[in-house]
Amino acid sequence: MLALKSLQLLFVLYASAVSASRSREAVDRLRGTKHNIVEDTEPLQHAKRSASFFTPTFANPKAATFAVNSSALPLVTFPLQNSWAGRLPISATSGETRQLFFWYWPSSQPTASKTLTIWLNGGPGCSSLAGFLQENGPVSFQPGAKAPVSNPNAWTTASDVLWIEQPVGTGFTLGTPNIQNESQLATQFYGFLQQFFGVFTELTSKQLFITGESYAGFYIPYIASRIINASAAEKAALPLSLQGLLINDGVYSSDIVGEQAPTAGFAKSFQSTLGLSTSTVNSLASKSSSCGYDAMISQITYPPKGKINLPNGNKDTISRSCDVFDTYLDDAEDANACFNIYRITDKCPTPNDPIESYFSRSDVQKLLHVSGFGTWSECSNRNVFVNGLDNSAYSETLFPNLLANLPRGMTLWHGLIDSILFNIGDRLTIQNLTWGGLQGFQTAPSTPLIVGGTQAGIFHTERNLTYIEVNNAGHMIPEDQSAVALHVFQAILGQTTL
C-alpha cells in the first residue's frame, strides 16, 4: 500500500506545481506571441525547404488517417519531418470505448532508422506529451518561452520515437479507467500495441526500446514483462524485438526506499542550495536515525553484506512521526517560496508553463486528430486506477527476469538534484536486489560519464544492469541536461558507448 502514497504524492505535487502558474499563463499566451513569430519565419522558410527527412510509407491505408503535417504546428517556424498521431483502441473488441493517444515521429535522419523507442511519463495519469514538448521531443516549448524552438538534442535525431498517453484517463485518451493494477495496465497497453502495429505494420520489425520517467518505473517493467511473456500465438502475430529499457528517476520500490530513508542525507548534502538552517538539518538527521533509516543507508556497501531490511522488522509502513520526507518538504518550502521538488535549484519567480494551453488549442488538436477535445491537462484530474489504488507488487520484483531476457539490458538513471525521488533510493534498490546469481553491484559506481569533454556524472554496469547518476539534473533529466540525455540514449541504442 505504500506504493500508493508515493503514487499520490508524485501526482498531487506535480498537479499543484502545474496549476500554480496556470492563471497567469492564460493571459500571457493570448498576448501577441503570434506577431513575434510571423517576423521570425522569413529566413527559416529556406531551412524548411532544404531539410531532407526520410519519410516512411505504410501499406495500410488507415495510416494516412493519422498523418500530421508537423510543419503546420502553431508557432513552429523550423523544419520538421511529418508525423502520425491519433487514438487507437486497447483491444480488437468491436465497440471498444477505451482508446490511447499516440504521436509517432520517424527519425529526423535522411535514412530510415533501425530502432523504435517508446517514451512514457509517469504520474500516474501524467501525459507523455510533457516529455515530447519539454524533454526529448523535436519541438521544445519550455516554461517562460513565448514560442517553441527546435530541440537539437531530440531523441528523434537517433531513433523513431513513439510518445504514448496512457493509461486510459490520461491526456487525450478516451474511455473510463477500469484497471486496478499494473498487470491490467500492461494488458491494455499490449492491446493498444496490437492495434498500433496493425496499422503501422512496417514498424514491427524495428528494434524496440521502452523508455520513460518517474511512475513509468512501475509501468515499464510490467509492460516489458507482458511483451516478453506473450504467448507463442501472440508473438507470431506481433513479433516485437524488444531490446532494452531506460528509466530515469523511477519508482520501483517502497517509498521508504525511494524517499524516506535518503531524505536526511540529501538535506544535509544540499543544505545551502535548499537554504535550510543547521538546526533543521540536524532535526531531520536525528529523526532519520531514530526511525531506522540511517541503518538502511549504512548497508549500501559494494558488495552488499546481505538483504537490507526495512525498519521495524522489515515492515513496509511508517508512523507519522517517521515521515521525514514530508517534514523535509515543509522545511524546504518554508526556505524557498518557489521550491521545486523536481529540481531543487529553482528560485522565484516560477515561469509560466505553456504546455496546457498549447495542447488545449483547437488548431493543435485538429492537427493531432483529436478535434474538439477541449481542455487538455498535463496530469489527469481523475483516477486512472479504480479508486486511485494501484495494487501491484513493486516493479523491482520483475527486474531479475527482465535482466536475464533483454538483449540490451536495463538502464536506470537519476538526476542528482531531484528531490521527489532520491538517487540513494536507486542505490538501495539495486544493492538489495538479487539477479544473475548475485546480490547488488559488487563494485561501487564510479566510472566518469564524459559528454563533450566534460564529466556529466558517473555510471556502472554489472550483469546487464547499468546505473547512471547525472549531475545538475532534476527529475526530468532530458529537460535539464538534454545533451547528456541524448548521449545516454544513443549508448542504450548501441550507437555509441557510455
Ligand X SMILES: *[C@@H]1O[C@H](CO)[C@@H](O)[C@H](O)[C@H]1NC(C)=O
Enumerate the active-site residues. 214, 418, 475
Which region among 7-15, 87-95, 304-312, 475-483 touches ligand X (by CB under 6 A)?
Answer: 304-312
Min CB(1)–ligand X separation in Å: 13
Q: Which is nearer to ligand X, 49 or 320 (CB)?
A: 49
Q: Which is nearer to ligand X, 275 or 494 (CB)?
A: 494
Residues 324-383 that bind ligand X (CB under 6 A): none
By the rule CB under 6 A, 404 interacts with ligand X? yes
Which region among 31-39, 55-63, 177-185, 355-363 touches ligand X (by CB under 6 A)?
Answer: 177-185
By the rule CB under 6 A, 241 interacts with ligand X? no
Binding residues for ligand X, how many (CB under 6 A)?
31
Min CB(296)–ligand X separation in Å: 6
Which region among 181-189, 240-248, 265-273, 333-341 touches ligand X (by CB under 6 A)?
Answer: 181-189
Min CB(135)–ligand X separation in Å: 25
By the rule CB under 6 A, 69 interacts with ligand X? yes
Q: If phi over 0 gives left and psi between -120 and 50 gives alpha, with beta otherwise, what is residue 341?
A: alpha
Q: Which is nearer to ligand X, 300 or 420 (CB)?
A: 300
Cell of 169: 484517463
By the rule CB under 6 A, 168 interacts with ligand X? no
Cis peptide before 148 (omega within 30 of 0): no
By the rule CB under 6 A, 307 interacts with ligand X? yes
By the rule CB under 6 A, 253 interacts with ligand X? yes
Site string for ligand X, 408-427 (x = CB under 6 A): --------------------
By the rule CB under 6 A, 159 interacts with ligand X? no
By the rule CB under 6 A, 85 interacts with ligand X? no
Min CB(394)–ligand X separation in Å: 8
Residues 201-230 that bind ligand X (CB under 6 A): 225, 229
By the rule CB under 6 A, 308 interacts with ligand X? yes
- Candidates 47, 407, 442, 454: give the one binding ligand X (CB under 6 A): 407
Which region among 15-23, 105-113, 167-175, 178-186 touches ligand X (by CB under 6 A)?
Answer: 178-186
- Candidates 260, 464, 466, 481: give the one binding ligand X (CB under 6 A): 464
By the rule CB under 6 A, 461 interacts with ligand X? no
By the rule CB under 6 A, 395 interacts with ligand X? no
Distance from C-alpha of 269 to C-alpha of 265, rounded to nearest angstrom: 6
Cell of 123: 504520474
By the rule CB under 6 A, 97 interacts with ligand X? no
Q: Which is nearer to ligand X, 155 or 325 (CB)?
A: 325
By the rule CB under 6 A, 285 interacts with ligand X? no
3-state SS string over the chain?
CHHHHHHHHHHHHHHHHHHHCHHHHHHHHHCCHHHHHHHHHHHHHHHHHHCCCCCCCCCCHHHHHHEECHHHCCCCCCCCCCEEEEEEECCCCCCCCCEEEEEEECCCCCCCCCEEEEEECCCCCECCHHHHHHHHCCEECCCCCCCCEECCCCHHHCCEEEEEECCCCCCCCECCCCECCHHHHHHHHHHHHHHHHHHCHHHCCCEEEEEEECCHHHHHHHHHHHHHCCCHHHHHHCCCEEEEEEEECCCCCCHHHHHHHHHHHHHHHCHHHHCCCHHHHHHHHHHHHHCCHHHHHCCCCCCCCCCCCCHHHHCCCCCHHHCHHHHHHHHHHHHCCCCCCCCCCCCCCCCCCCHHHHHHCHHHHHHCCCCCCCCCCCECCCCCEHHHCCCCCCHHHHHHHHHHHCCCCEEEEEECCCCCCCHHHHHHHHHCCEECCEECCCCCCCEEEEECCEEEEEEEEECCEEEEEECCCCCCHHHHCHHHHHHHHHHHHCCCCC
Q: For ligand X, which residue has the nearest CB?
A: 436
By the rule CB under 6 A, 83 interacts with ligand X? no
- Which residues contribute to the site for ligand X (CB under 6 A)? 69, 71-72, 180-181, 183-184, 225, 229, 253-254, 257, 296, 307-310, 314, 391, 398, 401, 403-407, 428, 432, 436, 463-464
